[in-house]
């Protein structure tokens, strides 16, 4: 029986071909790292119900990026300062007015984002708005990689050190306060790492698509398991897989890298929504039908006979 050499197998060539280029190898591992950071934080955000907060911060960093380029300082500094500033503004307006949090978030982040668009058109720079919005991991510079690694590393370190406190704060802030935790400090700690994660993911997915990377992995994991440790594993696996495979797809089909990553994440979410063993649509339908069958099989009571 004749066997084809490994190097001639189509699948092997599909995997190996992008690895011949340094920028592709770089894009793959940077995307995987960002996917891991986003997935870990995504589990906490999902429990806390802060999906809209991630949306707000991701849009609020736009003016920070423009200012950073104008002042010739690392864009991560400007993005983080404006992202964190937006969260402080949201907290201040919410505490001083009768508006609900969702309304305050909508007003603040659209104001920051619009201010960033104005700066892009008026401040002389070589900023490509398309890359800010949708990312450009294939053309990421060494300086941007260093900023991404630093921001992502700090995020992972903070979460690792305060993981139990953050989990209790996200799951039950009243209980956290009752046992003596400084919930205000936890609030701003979580907001800080959220802003840092968005800075880390800025070059990979961009401002628009980073929202999905912060929300979808945690949502997938939340459908798949009730245990938080398993949520972390499922979220990380789905996010890293989507980042690596999405980068491959962007190379072979010449499409947006960030878009490919988010499309894959969304497809995995749809599969989880349908096939999740406990909370999937099929599982819910099965339980519903089983309950109906049990009710039909029960013998009639005296009241029913009467």
7 pLDDT more than 60: no
Mean pLDDT of the 278-301 span:
79
**98-131: buried (b, 16+ CB within 10 Å) or exposed (e) per residue?**
eeeeeebbbbbbeebbeebeebbeeeeeebeeeb
CA distance 18 to 259: 18
* Residue 257: per-residue pLDDT: 86
* Residue 1: per-residue pLDDT: 46
Q: pLDDT over 90 for what percent of the chain?
A: 25
When comparing pLDDT for 267 and 117, which is higher?
Answer: 267
CA distance 279 to 286: 11
Give the chain's domains with CATH numbers: 20-216 (1.10.3470.10)
252 pLDDT more than 50: yes
10 pLDDT more than 90: no
* Residue 147: per-residue pLDDT: 84
Which pair of structure tokens corresponds to residue 82?
A: 């404006």
Write down the H helix ranges in 137-227: 142-161, 163-171, 173-178, 183-224
* Residue 137: per-residue pLDDT: 80
Q: What is the pLDDT of residues 62-93, one digit of tens each?
A: 888 888 887 888 778 888 888 888 888 888 88
Q: What is the pLDDT of residues 119-174, one digit of tens each?
A: 888 776 666 666 676 777 877 888 888 888 888 999 999 999 998 889 988 888 88
Mean pLDDT for the chain overall = 84
6 pLDDT more than 50: no
299 pLDDT more than 70: no
Which pair of structure tokens corresponds to residue 261?
A: 């990553």
Q: pLDDT over 70 for what percent of the chain?
A: 90
58 pLDDT more than 70: yes
210 pLDDT more than 80: yes
CA distances in angstroms from 197 to 21, 110, 193, 258, 272, listed in the order given: 27, 20, 6, 16, 25
Q: Where does residue 2 rank: exposed (0-12), middle (13-18), buried (19+ CB within 10 A)? A: exposed
The model carries a pTM of: 0.86
CA distance 156 to 161: 9
Provide the sign of the torsion angle of the four alpha carbons 129, 101, 193, 33, taken in this order.
negative
Which pair of structure tokens corresponds to residue 211?
A: 């929202």
């Amino acid at each position: 029986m004749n066997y084809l050499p490994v190097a001639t197998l189509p699948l092997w060539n599909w995997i190996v071909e992008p690895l011949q280029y340094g920028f592709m190898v770089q894009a793959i591992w940077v995307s995987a790292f960002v996917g891991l950071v986003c997935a870990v934080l995504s589990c906490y955000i999902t429990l806390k119900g802060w999906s809209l907060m991630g949306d707000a911060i991701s849009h609020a960093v736009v003016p920070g990026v423009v200012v950073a380029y104008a002042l010739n300082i690392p864009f991560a500094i400007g993005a983080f300062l404006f992202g964190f500033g937006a969260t402080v503004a949201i907290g201040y307006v919410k505490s001083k007015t009768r508006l609900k949090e969702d309304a305050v978030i909508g007003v603040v982040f659209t104001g920051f984002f619009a201010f960033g668009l104005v700066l892009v058109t008026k401040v002389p720079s070589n900023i490509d708005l398309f890359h800010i919005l949708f990312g450009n991991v294939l053309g990421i510079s060494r300086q941007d990689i260093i900023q991404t690694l630093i921001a992502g590393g700090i995020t992972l370190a903070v979460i690792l050190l305060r993981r139990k406190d953050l989990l209790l704060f996200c799951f039950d802030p009243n209980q956290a306060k009752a046992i003596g935790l400084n919930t205000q400090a936890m609030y701003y700690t979580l907001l800080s790492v959220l802003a840092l994660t968005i800075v880390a993911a800025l070059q990979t997915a961009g401002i628009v698509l980073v929202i999905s990377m912060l929300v979808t992995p945690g949502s997938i994991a939340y459908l798949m398991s009730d245990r938080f440790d398993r949520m972390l594993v499922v979220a990380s696996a789905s996010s890293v897989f989507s980042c690596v495979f999405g980068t491959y797809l962007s190379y072979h089909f010449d499409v947006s890298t960030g878009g490919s990553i988010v499309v894959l994440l969304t497809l995995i979410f749809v599969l989880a929504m349908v096939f999740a063993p406990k909370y999937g649509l099929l599982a819910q339908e099965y339980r519903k039908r089983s309950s109906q069958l049990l009710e039909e099989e029960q013998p009639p009571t005296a009241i029913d006979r009467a």
